[in-house]
Amino acid sequence: MLFWLLAITITVVACAALSYAASGRAVNAAAAAGTDATTVHFRLQLSEIEADAASGRLAPAEAVAAKGELARELLRQQKETAGRTAARLVGSGWLLQASIVLVAVIAFATYAFLGSPSLPSEPLSSRAAAVKADDMSVAEAVKAVEARLATDPDDVKGWSVIAPIYMQTGDYPKAEHAFRQVLALSPETADADTNLAEALMMQNGGAATGEAADLLHKAATLDAKDVRPRFYLAAEAMRQKDYAGAVAQWTAIIALGTDSDPWMATAKAGLAAAEAGRDGKPMPGAAAAAPGTNPAQSPAIVSMVKGLADRLQKSGGSLADWTQLVRSEIVLGDIAKAQAFYDTAKKAYPDAGARQDLDGLAAQAGLKLDGTTP
């Protein structure tokens, strides 16, 4: 009962305030009346009458008569204006008042139907405990989604949600199965083909061969402007020393972007390395490269990536800069450095909402998003 008394009292006060504000009362009416256009007009006429009387153009009796006529005309104009204002306020006032009452009635009716005024208050400490109890770990979330998919295997949204999580946790066989389900249950897209290819590549040491290569070629055909599958194809061509094919891939990638794109420098460096290999020229620094090193690691690429890394580690940088650095290390095949730079960027930018692009890139490459070593 106390709750309803307080609610009614607060509502009445609020409605009264709104009613007063909507009543159309004139504020500082005297000042307004003294400065409107009609009053200014009559004051000018009065000044002219007085000037004519002072100069002798009007006799004193004529001047008095003219002033009287002017005063009567002013009173008539003010009366008509006041009448129109009152009529307008009367016409709109009842609608405003009715709207205020209607809002109050609807508010009470809605709360009476949906609210729980009899529910006892809950201490803040118990609320915090409840929130903490409701928090779900990644493993629990995976189990919940898996349980749902077991009963509804055609839930494409569930497969779409759990597949990237499998990639994040390094469970590539399950990620492959989930991505295959997405492809089977929804229209084929370039992203879907590339996602499945990534899961296959992660199980094959990063090599884009066999089915993974077929999927990447299909993705590049489905979306001619998507650079992601083309990067993998270019890197695979370099790995296999198919420099002519790599030149074609890097050239196609460069044609899709502008110098402002964060991946453009990597693509141009890759093209330079591929052209050197195609022309039979020794790649600068190749003798110093360790056995098994990605052939795309030309000094141009390494120098660019190292310069960016040194600058970010010394002075910091934007989230886009860190994303470019992680992407470059992934393309070069140095997953350990990519993981380390991702962990550093995550500490510098703790807001997960702002890190969507970076987290997505890390997940696609199989990096650990919780900071553990992959």
63: how many CB neighbours lie within 10 A of its CB?
Answer: 16
Closest CA to 198 of 183, 184, 186, 213: 213
Averaged over 38-47, what is the pLDDT? 72
Which of the given ranges, 87-101, 187-201, 316-330, has the highest pLDDT on average? 187-201
Among 3.20.20.150, 2.10.69.10, 1.25.40.10, 1.20.210.10, what is the CATH number of 157-219? 1.25.40.10
Torsion of CA 107, 110, 113, 114, to 10 degrees: -110
User: In which band, very low, low, confident or very high, does the pLDDT at 36 lie, cut at 50, 70 and 90?
Assistant: low
Q: How far is CA 117 from the centre of its chain?
A: 37
CA distance 283 to 218: 31
Closest CA to 331 of 271, 259, 257, 371: 271
CA atoms within 13 A on the CB side of 53: 15
CA atoms within 13 A on the CB side of 62: 9
Q: What is the pLDDT of residue 33?
A: 44
pLDDT single digits (tens) 114-165: 666 655 555 544 444 444 444 456 677 788 888 888 999 998 888 988 888 8
User: In which band, very low, low, confident or very high, does the pLDDT at 370 lie, cut at 50, 70 and 90?
Assistant: low
User: In which band, very low, low, confident or very high, does the pLDDT at 214 lie, cut at 50, 70 and 90?
Assistant: very high
- Positive or negative, the CA dihedral 235, 237, 238, 244 is negative
Mind giving me the DSSP string for 249-308?
Answer: HHHHHHHT--TTSTTHHHHHHHHHHHHHHHTTPPPTTGGGSPTT--TT--HHHHHHHHHH
The single-letter DSSP state of residue 225 is T
Averaged over 183-203, what is the pLDDT? 90
Q: How far is CA 269 from the centre of its chain?
A: 32
- Domain ranges within the chain, ordered by starting residue: 2-23+40-114, 157-219
pLDDT single digits (tens) 230-244: 888 888 888 788 889
198: how many CB neighbours lie within 10 A of its CB?
Answer: 27
Whether 26 shows a pLDDT value over 80: the answer reads no
User: In which band, very low, low, confident or very high, does the pLDDT at 85 lie, cut at 50, 70 and 90?
Assistant: low
Read off the amino acid at residue 257: G
Name residues whose C-beta falls within 8 Å of residue 185's C-beta, 6 or more positions apart in sequence.
154, 156, 159
Residue matched to tokens 């499998």: 166
Q: Percent of the chain beyond pLDDT 90?
A: 10
